[in-house]
Amino acid sequence: MTGEKGLKFTKEHEWLRIEGNRVTVGITDFAQKKLGDIVYVELPELDEEFVEGDAFAVLESVKTAADVYAPVDGIVVEVNDLLEEEPALINTDPFGEGWIAVFEAEGDIDTSGLMDTAAYRQYAEEEE
């Protein structure tokens, strides 16, 4: 599990890399395994605005579709366009090349509801 250090995690199995008011979002290794082969990613548009908890992307695997939720109130400043052609990057490198989008948060980021690596590991194990 590369790149897991310093990340924060949500209960929806997303990882967040918080740098100032920028938040990079992806899904965890646990989540990609649960979804199976991802065949399509519906990405947000640049500058699109979301409220925390809004679905901003959709991942389609061969057997299901899952929403990815905005971690903060903010706008999308970067989108991983590579996923359009290669959605499987989420399967092969969920914490690296499989990142989905970068948000710029509107205000301070509240991390109180998020988990660190150890807490998330335990959380995922319990879900297993």
Partner 1 sequence: MSKHYLPNTGPQRRQILQAIGVGAVEDLFSYIPEKLRFSGLLNLPDPIAEPQLVDHMEELAGKNNVEAVNFLGGGIYDHYVPAAIDHVLSRSEFYTAYTPYQPEVSQGTLQAIFEYQSMLCQLTGAAAANASLYDGATTVAEAALLALNATKGRRLLVAGSMHPSYRQVLATYLEDFGAEIEELPLEGGKLKAEAIAPRLGNDVAALIVQSPNFFGIIEDLPALGKLMAAEKGLFVVATDPIALGILEAPGALGADVITGEGQSLGINQSFGGPLLGFMGVADKLVRKMPGRVVGQTADAKGRRGFVLTLQTREQHIRREKATSNICSNQALCALAASVYMSLMGPQGLREVAAQSLAKAAFAREQMTAVPGVELPFAGPFFKEFVLKLPQPAAKVIAAMADKGYYVGIDLGRFFPDMNNCLLMAVTEKRSKSEILGCAAALREVLA
Interface residues with partner 1 (CB under 8 A) are 40, 42, 55, 60-65, 67
Beta bridge partner(s), residue 24 = 17, 102
Tokens 């199976």 sit at which residue? 36
DSSP one-letter code for 27: E
Question: How far apart are alpha carbons 26 and 111 in whole angstroms?
Answer: 16
DSSP one-letter code for 112: T
Shortest Å, Cβ 121 to partner 1? 29
Nearer to partner 1, 24 or 61 (CB): 61
Nearer to partner 1, 64 or 111 (CB): 64
Q: Is 119 helix (H, G, I), strand (E, B) or coil?
A: helix
Burial class (CB in 10 A: 0-12, 13-18, 19+), 113: exposed
Shortest Å, Cβ 40 to partner 1? 6
Shortest Å, Cβ 60 to partner 1? 4
Nearer to partner 1, 67 or 81 (CB): 67
Shortest Å, Cβ 34 to partner 1? 15
Nearer to partner 1, 67 or 110 (CB): 67
